[in-house]
Chain A
């Protein structure tokens, strides 16, 4: 066998793998269409309507409710997906596949909601509003992870950083009587824990996963200990209140978009600003190039004169500060009080969003929105009394992440030097 035929053989196997993958995706589209048509379409009695409310009480211009025939809408959406699946099987969308997959996903969710709301009313704007709110700490946490991991330091300590920051935010805001001071305190503590993670993984070269685990355990233990010891005795130290909603003039009056995007608290705006800023910073500036160089190939970065360890220290501390902001959301942006273990695994969902979002701020935001949607859908479904157990919706972020890291749907790769300590020499 000559080298040329061997090379040709390799080529055809990789092409075959790609074709197989394309076919699998086509079949998935068709299956989705089948579920939508048979389950969501025929699963509804004929003649029922789904009502979607578009107004949130007291905000924006009033719009009439959107009333659609349940069966027809599900059927139409199913036909659209079936058509896309057929085209995918016949010749395949190559470059446009991600966009097509997104269309299929949106159709599926729309058909699902139509089915869930058949014969009932469902507030769509309220749903979107709560999706964005729930996505905010996840997106901020994932952005914190993006910073650390782009610089080559694995951060599974997001949970611990967020929990400690939530505690500090409540304590400082209550003591100072000003929630903004609390936010500053939370950000500072997040940065401090970032420094601890950086010291452990850079100076003491502790395995970064152990370092992160330690911070998580320590945070859970210390915040629970202190809240029992201090907050139970001095309850006035745990009543910070919630940051008020800032309505942006004019824009907040827009229908649907107004209440969803322009009538939020500081955290949501900060997140919506941070994502583009971080994207530009990481991919369009000298600073970002350095951070990514240190995370992808520290030796090369060192050779051209970048101080690898210093870049890592700074970026991880910055990441910790962002995680602190994410943590403050729980006490100062949502609940208004610290409860033991109140982040309840949200740090790990942020980690999942980071991976699902392929270590990119925009991807992280998209993933956080998907996860936030699953979370708010779970709370809304209870009202609509659908036969789907809410536990399975809560499981969705983790399952999606498993599929993504396993390469079943797309592939997500970490920066090359993520998790490896750098030794100069």
Chain B
């Protein structure tokens, strides 16, 4: 028991320090950009106490508001879980591809492909809920899988690097959605701005309670996380995926179909991101507007923070859910722009991706499970 705890502690040490460091640097940025705190710092020599206490007030005010609006009460926690739902799924998407040695930064495009298709099924069909909701979800998964699969096929057939192709596919999806929302098929009647028709009641994900926005997509995401864990670590397919990820040439030598595994992994990864899009439009928004969700980039942080393990990704998604849900409250109460959350997320990625940076800051030795992260090889060949 204590050995297991110690191991868990070692594994969680770098992520925990990374989050702490990111919040600390974020606090510094909040202080530096606050005019009152800056004025007090300019008279630091005359009154050092005031500068310190003002800074403390500014930072604790901002972070206090952040945690109050994300964890303080039933509704706040509901909002946090709501934010975490798509994050779990996109995080799993990047994780699955990572395990196959692929870098899926196409989460945004796959999310949009899934959301667009789900919305279409959601508003266009008039069938009973027992059929409608599963069909709308499946359509989103299929579209996301298709969008991810393109990158997988290009990689397997032509060797085109998945980072380049997924970036390009992101923007193609973005423009495609813009176009779709300008057509009469998708655009809500009587509106000139790009917003889709409303998803019918029969295709909406049920809520846990009438006054809370968190919906059944959360359960779906957690079940999917278990499924991904099983697929990766308990099935033959998962073994093949991980073998290809560890060394494509060794896997090929062992007789595994490397190209096929890449295609499969991108299909699964795309499908997971597509499901994130589907749950978002069927669970919360009930319609689609243009633009990136930026969930695809958050997902990279989640996969790194969760050490490319489904359980770790769920934990990381909950943490990011706290940050995202709290950001709006922080903006309202402490007038700290929500974008500080984006900065904190970027810092988390740096600190997790560069364990040697964290180790040199905190002067801790190298341990198991803290090695440098390297996924992609040269993108030329």
Q: Which residues does A use to contact B, with CB under 8 Å?
A: 154, 156, 200, 204-211, 213-218, 220-222, 224-226, 228-230, 233, 345, 348, 351-352, 355, 389, 391-392, 394-395, 398-399, 401-402, 405-407, 413-421
Contact = CB atoms under 8 A, between A and B. Distances in A.
B29 A222 contact: yes
Given A406-B165, A407-B158, A407-B160, 11 more contacts: A206-B373, A207-B103, A209-B375, A211-B353, A213-B349, A222-B29, A398-B171, A402-B168, A406-B158, A416-B380, A421-B374
Contacts of A200: 350, 353-354
Interface of B: 29, 33-35, 103, 105, 154, 157-161, 163-165, 167-169, 171-172, 174-176, 178-179, 182, 297, 300-301, 304, 336-337, 339-347, 349-350, 353-354, 356-357, 372-381
A206 B167 CA distance: 20
Contact of B340 (A225, A395, A421): A225
A399 B172 contact: yes
16 contacts: A200-B354, A206-B373, A210-B304, A217-B297, A218-B350, A221-B342, A228-B339, A229-B34, A229-B336, A395-B175, A405-B165, A406-B158, A407-B159, A407-B160, A418-B379, A419-B380
Nearest to B159: A407
Nearest to A421: B374
Nearest to B351: A214
Contacts of A402: 154, 160, 165, 168-169, 172
Given A156-B163, A206-B354, A213 B105 contact: yes
A207 B344 CA distance: 19
A83 to B, nearest CB: 31
B353 A214 contact: yes
A415 B167 CA distance: 20
A401 B340 CA distance: 34
Given A200-B354, A348-B171, A221 B377 contact: no
Contacts of B357: 204
Nearest to B163: A209
The secondary structure that dominates the A interface is helix
Contacts of A419: 376-380
B343 to A, nearest CB: 4
B378 A417 contact: yes
A208 B161 CA distance: 14
Contacts of B341: 221
A239 B15 CA distance: 41
A221 B372 contact: no
A384 B24 CA distance: 54
B167 A210 contact: no
Contacts of B34: 229
A233 B161 CA distance: 44
Contact of B182 (A389, A401, A414): A389
A352 B163 contact: no
Contact of A233 (B35, B163, B172): B35
B171 A345 contact: yes
A253 B178 CA distance: 42
B354 A394 contact: no
A217 B84 CA distance: 19
Nearest to A296: B380
Contact of A217 (B33, B154, B340, B342): B342
Contacts, number: 164
Contacts of A414: 161, 378-381
Contacts of A348: 167, 171
B377 A405 contact: no
Going nearest first, the 5 A-B pairs with the smallest beta carbon separation are A221-B342, A414-B380, A218-B346, A391-B179, A221-B343
Contacts of B343: 218, 221-222, 225
Contacts of A407: 158-160
Contact of A413 (B336, B350, B380): B380
Given A207-B374, A210-B349, A398-B168, A225 B33 contact: yes
B360 to A, nearest CB: 9
Contacts of B356: 204-205
Contacts of A416: 378, 380-381
Contacts of A420: 377-378
Nearest to A400: B168
A352 B378 contact: no
A355 B160 CA distance: 11
A229 B337 CA distance: 7
Contacts of B158: 405-407
A230 B339 CA distance: 13
B337 A224 contact: yes
A418 B377 CA distance: 8
A352 B168 contact: yes
A211 B357 CA distance: 13
A218 B159 CA distance: 30
Contacts of A421: 374
B105 A209 contact: yes
A225 B29 contact: yes
A108 B159 CA distance: 30
Contacts of A399: 168, 172
A415 B161 CA distance: 13
B175 A394 contact: yes
Nearest to A391: B179
Given A352-B168, A391-B182, A217 B381 contact: no
A353 to B, nearest CB: 12
A402 B172 CA distance: 10
Nearest to A229: B33
B366 to A, nearest CB: 13
A210 B339 CA distance: 20
B354 A204 contact: yes
Nearest to B34: A229
Contacts of A224: 337, 339, 342
Contacts of B379: 154, 414, 418-419
Given A395-B172, A415-B380, A206 B165 contact: no
A416 B33 CA distance: 43
A389 B168 contact: no
Nearest to B337: A228
B33 A230 contact: yes
Contact of A220 (B174, B342, B347): B342
A192 to B, nearest CB: 15
A395 B179 CA distance: 10
Given A222-B29, A225-B29, A401-B168, A214 B346 contact: yes
Contacts of B381: 413-414, 416
Nearest to B33: A229
B346 A406 contact: no
Contacts of A226: 33
A187 to B, nearest CB: 23
Contacts of A418: 378-380
